[in-house]
């Protein structure tokens, strides 16, 4: 264990994983703990977040869990209160929760549109709303929002609500970065490209109903490096932005995509 986040307290949302293996939030929570942070791991799925807690505890780290829905104001208020009650401060807010839906405005139901925007975007507003006052009082804080290269480009198939939510996360992050730049709070985004996480396997199965291995092979082939990235690639970028090594970086969009967005037209 090194100590790039020694004495820091981190909230990680979506810190479980929707299937076996490493999701982006789970890897970030474990990596932050390895670097010395005490972690409040948040997820709508209590079993998933308990797995993350057990992994961290098994490595000698400190992790508390909170089971709740980050698109609900009352849950976010409660999780922030829990963090303060348990750890006394919030140094790092890592917004990882994100759901995906295939389709354009015609195909996506109004109900699903609202749900996706609430889960992906309103959740970031809510966590920031409740965490920033504590960061201001401390005179220090770092926010890392997990966006996507889908915030910048069409990524090969229509996913209008997802892309719109991620584009809005970039702008929300920039606004926060500028508003609080002089008061010790930094806010940055990580923009993953095609990553091999449990989420995309579930998504490909649901969205296409086709052969998942074939879709995985296609995703690998479409990357300039001929392979997708993984959750650790995202977690290490987030760790850099969360740490003091990034003390002069705010409002940035750190692309982690093996060059994918450079070749997209
Ligand atoms: N995998 C990729 O290719 C890729 C690419 C770009 C961006 N991303 C982004 O990475 C993030 C997630 O990645 P992941 O692999 O960790 O996904 P994941 O689905 O494995 O993990 C997300 C976790 O969030 C939880 N969750 C879902 N809705 C929630 C809610 N309302 N409240 C609380 N928890 C909730 C799930 O239970 C799950 O454990 C998302 O923001 C996604 O858009 C992924």
At residue 126, the pLDDT reads: 99
119 lines ligand 1 (CB under 6 A): yes
At residue 180, the pLDDT reads: 98
Q: How far apart, in whole angstroms, are the C-alpha atoms of residue 111 and residue 169?
A: 20
At residue 157, the pLDDT reads: 84
The alpha carbon of 17 and the centre of ligand 1 are apart by a number of angstroms equal to: 7
At residue 246, the pLDDT reads: 98
The alpha carbon of 220 and the centre of ligand 1 are apart by a number of angstroms equal to: 20
Pair of tokens at residue 71: 């698109």
Say whether pLDDT at 26 is over 80: yes
146 lines ligand 1 (CB under 6 A): yes
At residue 179, the pLDDT reads: 98
Residue with CA closest to ligand 1 atom 1? 195
At residue 206, the pLDDT reads: 67
At residue 212, the pLDDT reads: 82
Domains and CATH numbers, the chain: 9-195+231-256 (3.40.50.720)
Assign 215 a pLDDT band (cuts: 50, 70, 90): confident
| Residues labelled as active-site residues | 162
Assign 207 a pLDDT band (cuts: 50, 70, 90): low
For the chain, helix (H) and strand (E) counts, in that order, are 10, 7
The alpha carbon of 232 and the centre of ligand 1 are apart by a number of angstroms equal to: 14
Say whether pLDDT at 208 is over 80: no
At residue 63, the pLDDT reads: 98
Burial of 77 (0-12, 13-18, 19+ CB in 10 A): middle
At residue 1, the pLDDT reads: 55
Closest CA to 96 of 146, 26, 31, 33: 146
The alpha-carbon radius of gyration of the chain (Å, integer) is 17
């Amino acid at each position: 264990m090194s100590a790039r986040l020694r004495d820091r307290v981190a909230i990680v949302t979506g810190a479980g994983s929707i299937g076996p293996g490493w999701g982006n939030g789970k890897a970030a929570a474990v990596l932050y703990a390895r670097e010395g942070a005490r972690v409040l791991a948040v997820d709508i799925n209590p079993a998933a977040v308990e797995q993350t807690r057990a992994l961290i505890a098994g490595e000698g780290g400190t992790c508390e869990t909170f089971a709740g829905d980050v698109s609900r104001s009352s849950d976010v208020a409660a999780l922030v209160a829990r963090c303060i009650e348990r750890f006394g401060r919030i140094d790092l807010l890592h917004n990882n929760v994100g759901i995906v839906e295939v389709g354009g405005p015609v195909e996506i139901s109004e109900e699903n549109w609202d749900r996706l925007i609430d889960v992906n975007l309103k959740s970031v507003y809510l966590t920031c709303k409740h965490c920033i006052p504590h960061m201001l009082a401390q005179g220090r804080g770092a926010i890392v929002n997990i966006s996507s290269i889908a915030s910048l480009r069409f990524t090969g198939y229509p996913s209008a609500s997802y892309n719109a939510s991620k584009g809005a996360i970039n702008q929300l992050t920039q606004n926060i970065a500028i508003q609080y730049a002089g008061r010790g709070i930094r806010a940055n985004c990580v923009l993953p490209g095609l990553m091999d996480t449990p989420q995309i396997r579930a998504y490909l199965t649901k969205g296409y109903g086709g052969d998942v291995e074939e879709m995985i092979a296609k995703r690998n082939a479409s990357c300039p490096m001929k392979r997708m990235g993984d959750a650790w690639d995202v977690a290490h970028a987030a760790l850099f932005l969360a740490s003091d090594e990034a003390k002069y970086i705010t409002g940035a969009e750190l692309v982690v995509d093996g060059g994918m967005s450079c070749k997209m037209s």
